Structure 1
């Protein structure tokens, strides 16, 4: 691969680290786990909007993953052109596309022997994935012999409690990426809002009723579509309330999703 040639594909993959995230990922690939407002997959893909997205997951999850990602190829490595493979356990920060650019030389990057990304040509892809199409430890050892190896340090979701530990900061990062400061639904005048209202988003057809307290002093609050927030709920930011939720008199502390 010549330096500077643009990679037109990204492939978000599961590695064997999924085992430490069970039972959360028995019925979904690790990259569909949510941390903050969006899933790990959505965070990663959002940094590469110009690239075609491919997914690699456990075989028994292929059908359900195809249904959830209808326009994305799943476990199909007949990829035209170069491809940037990215570990689906990465918690993508603000500078992911700078630290892992689409273009560049053919190489792999490791963090404590965990494969973080691999930028590969079609020839290398065909050679290293010829057995069963999965990125296993044996695949990584083969890649080490074929392409340049570099080191990188990024946040990885390795255990279930990491989703909780990183959640507050992930909500803040997602809110900045998505953009907020809008009330598309109904916010009762008798609801109390503390802090900067640019840190509040209320989605379409959602209702925040009288007696609700929204505390934005420590971070944003994102409320999705068709949500009902009933009296006398207290929500401390950073917090995320997903679509179709009903919050009835609850207390959501900072870092809640």
Structure 2
């Protein structure tokens, strides 16, 4: 439940028999989640089993009627799902929820109230007239958004219900807890094939989906946390998976992999080497030896053989991360890399602690990569060159085709628009 502060002033009514409609929106906070959200909404970021939108809808017990997103994303989002996009809802009882909210329990906001945390609108419960003022452009302007909701009563949403995700590393920090919470709400059973010679430690805390094969010599260790393996996953011999861990549908865990605690791997990834406390969004490959820890890796990323990322400074000090090129102190000691979609590293690439690599980059350096690599960069020992967007798109077409996918015209237009957006936001 949310707590009221003062008395409602908005003209909000609850009509008998009218169902509250759920609206999910993006706000100005998307900028601090780049480069991970250049080609997706903030509420499509992953933590635990699924994305933030899934968590909001699950906690609220209903599907969102509409989503309000950045205009450059609208056409693609309309293709990918059935909710209304940037179109007003019709009810006089609308609950608007920030897409950056990692919601764990049902949010019940009073009518005519708005809940803020700092500069972030967490949620507001509005009638149709009040909601009609919230256009996509206004939602991205905090000053104008506050003005539009100035007559709403103040409410508080307890942090126990959910957290606003301000920076990418917060998803990584929350990941183990989310896996454990979601496993606790799920029936854990073994449906797939576990070969003789494979080892399941604490099997009651391990879920093996349909079509899974766990080959002889693999070890799934759930003694320190649960393991959820979705459908059609193959775990090869001598792979070790430690819980808490989530492995998404269609993934391949290669021989000798050490998938340590706190990892979520989205669908259709190929994983090898050593990974700890890391989120792979989906459709990305780290097939070879090397280490990635406490990181978030976007879609369609390929990490070359022996790519190694640091997630701890030699001084054991807190890590600063260059969000859009501007350093932010995370207050954390273990922070790895944040890698945008369609980025590739060469063999033996070394990533410094707390680095950010933008969208559609190629990194091929003999020493440490830069701490910040702007989007559409080609970085070598000779310096930085532009990864020309049309050529990058041609490569992307080839990459997605290898997974039996094809970009729509809207997706190609979004891909090309990222450079313009990045040029406006990133500090080179």
- Common fold: TM-score over 0.5: yes
Equivalent residue in structure 2 for 1:201, among 195, 202, 207: 207
Q: 1:124-139 residue pairs with structure 2 within 5 A?
A: 124-126=130-132, 128-129=133-134, 132=137, 134=139, 136-139=141-144
How far apart in 1 are the matches of 2:130 and 2:85?
19
Bigger relative contact order, structure 1 or 2 (CA pairs below 8 A, ≥6 apart): 1
Whether contact under 8 Å (1:183, 1:202) holds in the other structure is yes
Secondary structure of 2:220's counterpart equals strand
Which has the higher mean CA deviation after the structures are superposed, 128-137 or 17-26?
Answer: 128-137
Whether contact under 8 Å (2:235, 2:252) holds in the other structure is yes
**1:236 and 2:260 aligned:** no
How far apart in 2 are the matches of 1:52 and 1:34?
18
Whether contact under 8 Å (1:236, 1:252) holds in the other structure is yes
How far apart in 1 are the matches of 2:171 and 2:74?
24
TM-score by length of 2: 0.55
1:177-203 per-position Cα deviation (integer Å, ceiling 9, x unaligned): 3x13211211123211112x2321111
Name the residue aligned to 2:32. 20
Equivalent residue in structure 1 for 2:194, among 148, 162, 187: 187
Name the residue aligned to 1:30. 42
Whether contact under 8 Å (2:138, 2:145) holds in the other structure is no
Whether contact under 8 Å (1:180, 1:199) holds in the other structure is no
Whether contact under 8 Å (2:21, 2:89) holds in the other structure is no
How far apart in 2 are the matches of 1:79 and 1:15?
21
Larger radius of gyration: 2
How far apart in 1 are the matches of 2:165 and 2:43?
10
Q: 1:169-188 residue pairs with structure 2 within 5 A?
A: 169-177=177-185, 179-188=186-195
**1:116 and 2:132 aligned:** no
Shift of 1:166: 0.8
1:32-52 per-position Cα deviation (integer Å, ceiling 9, x unaligned): 010111101100111222454
Shift of 1:130: 5.9
Shift of 1:139: 3.8
How far apart in 2 are the matches of 1:163 and 1:51?
23
How far apart in 1 are the matches of 2:14 and 2:209?
44
Name the residue aligned to 1:87. 98
Equivalent residue in structure 2 for 1:105, among 107, 111, 131: 111
Work out the number of aligned pairs and report it. 248
User: Any stretches of 5+ residues in structure 2 without a counterpart?
Assistant: 1-11, 265-428
Q: After TM superposition, which residue ranges in structure 1, 4 or more long, deviate above 4 angstroms?
A: 2-7, 130-133
What is the RMSD of the two structures over their aligned residues, measured on CA atoms?
A: 2.0
Greater share of residues in helix: 1
Whether contact under 8 Å (1:8, 1:52) holds in the other structure is no
